[in-house]
A and B are shown apart, each in its own frame.
Chain A
Amino acid sequence: KQEVTQIPAALSVPEGENLVLNCSFTDSAIYNLQWFRQDPGKGLTSLLLIQSSQREQTSGRLNASLDKSSGRSTLYIAASQPGDSATYLCAVTWEAAGNKLTFGGGTRVLVKP
């Protein structure tokens, strides 16, 4: 069964620390992997998209890496700020699953001032 797992489910860090969020997936035959942010009561905002042929993507303080062979992706957020507090979701589009994204359960992040 194709699954996406995010551990830990929740994370609390002091402001200024770097955040490291993990995502693992069971099948390496993927089209792409995406990281999203969700604020309470809101929809999802796409942060970074990594194609299967890429190893990483960067946007500002965010960097996401992809290791298909080991079925892992990591989202790094440098110098965290209270405004980074949100739930971060990882989603995979698998080759065999057509066009649907399969989401992990998310990591709820709290950055304390």
Chain B
Amino acid sequence: GAGVSQSPSNKVTEKGKDVELRCDPISGHTALYWYRQSLGQGLEFLIYFQGNSAPDKSGLPSDRFSAERTGGSVSTLTIQRTQQEDSAVYLCASSLRLQRLDGNTIYFGEGSWLTVV
């Protein structure tokens, strides 16, 4: 597609439910990143993928969070047993190659706004 596409754009869920957030990166981009942006916390790194593998999961806040990427394209971020503190904007980004290889431009989607009530 023309840009990074995320769905849903908005999600309100009850505490304790599971949610899935989807990211469709720019076609041909091998690197995919998930970030979280919450009030008072700024932008936090969650996880990145190179192809289908995730070398760095260090940013995932707890074992309730998981992510996968299939076919080197679409990625899904899953949050199990959601808590109110999970409320945030979840941003996905992609780039042609990894940042440390040649520092190429990274493109962000508009985010999935998650509210846990």
Report A's interface with B, CB cutoff 8 A. Answer: 31-32, 34, 36, 41-46, 49, 51, 89, 91, 93, 95, 98-106
Nearest first, the 5 closest Cβ-Cβ pairs linking A and B are: A43-B108, A32-B103, A103-B43, A44-B108, A100-B45
Partner of A98, one of B4, B55, B91, B110: B55
- B79-100 CB contact bits vs A (8 Å, 1 = yes)? 0000000000001010000111
Question: A42 contacts B110, CB within 8 Å?
Answer: yes
Contact B100 A46 (CB under 8 A): no
> Size range of the interface on B?
20 to 34
What's the count of A-B pairs with C-beta under 8 Å? 65
Interface SS, B side: strand
B42 near A99 (CB under 8 angstroms)? no
**CA gap between A99 and B96 in the complex, in Å:** 13
Extra pairs beyond A43-B111, A44-B91, A98-B55 (6, CB < 8 Å) = A46-B106, A100-B33, A100-B99, A103-B35, A103-B42, A105-B42
Are A89 and B43 neighbours in the complex by a CB distance under 8 Å? yes
Q: Name the residue on A nearest B4 (C-beta).
A: A43
Q: Within the assembled complex, what's the spacing in Å between the Cα atoms of A25 and B49? A: 25
**Is B107 positioned at the interface, with any CB of A under 8 Å from its CB?**
yes
- A92, chain B: closest CB distance, angstroms: 10
